[in-house]
Amino acid sequence: MAVAPLVIIPARFSASASAHRYRALSTARTLSEGVLRAGGEPLTVHPWAPGGAVDPDVVGQRLGYADAVLLPGGGDLDPARYGQVTASDDVYDVDAEQDAFDLAVARWALGAGVPLLAVCRGWQIVNVALGGDLEQHMATPHRHVVHDVRVDEGSRLASIVGTSTAASCFHHQRAARLGEGLVPVARATDGTVEAAELPGARGWFLAVQWHPEDTVDTDPDQLALFRALVTAAAS
């Protein structure tokens, strides 16, 4: 029996959880299920960046066994990480250790050529890791929004979902200046970059601003995203 590719998902810190008395680690159940449905084996890992700093090489020593990485959604990245002060009262759930670990994971995966799918906050993390920045609060946030997204022909994303897909979104921030080498391949009607690729990356890479896990059990396009990651991990 073939061994399923191992897909690392950095956990999210949680102030509480129903099954625990104290602070907890969490991963969206539908996100893990998406990896399983696609034929991969999801593994949640503990973010570890004491004092809000960690070297990508240290992260690589911990995660070097990974066949792929899935950077998930979550709270907001500290604006200081992309050279801004906190100008918006809408910035929430900032955690220095979470930020440092996620950024190090992104830099390690990209540098090592490990297949990487970045989702929502995960996409924003990659953008900042490559020198980009974010709009701290959108005039019209995409919260509980499902909208059609046009995808550029010839892109990796188009080869997976075609030139149009239904994106389930929950975010109030978006990429502003794109990081080095990143190319937008899908936009919403308000100009929000909904997906990006990194031509010339050492490994398979795709980022989406939406949450494919929201509809992975009903929308073949979203399951196809997970399958593309697992296929890259297997190869």
**Catalytic sites, residue numbers:** 120, 211, 213
Helix (H) or strand (E) holding 25: strand 24-26
H, E, C per residue of 124-190: HHHHHHCCCCEECCCCCCEEEEEEEEEECCCCHHHHHHCCEEEEEEEECCEECCCCCCCEEEEECCC
Is-contact 148 167, C-beta < 8 A?
Answer: yes
Here the tokens at position 175 are 């990429």
Closest CA to 196 of 182, 178, 212, 210: 182
Task: Tally the C-alpha atoms within 13 A of residue 23's C-alpha that lie toward its C-beta.
Answer: 6
Is-contact 194 186, C-beta < 8 A?
Answer: yes
SS3 52: helix
Give the burial class of 153: count Cβ atoms within 10 A of its Cβ; 0-12 exposed, 13-18 middle, 19 or more buried.
exposed
Here the tokens at position 94 are 């900032």
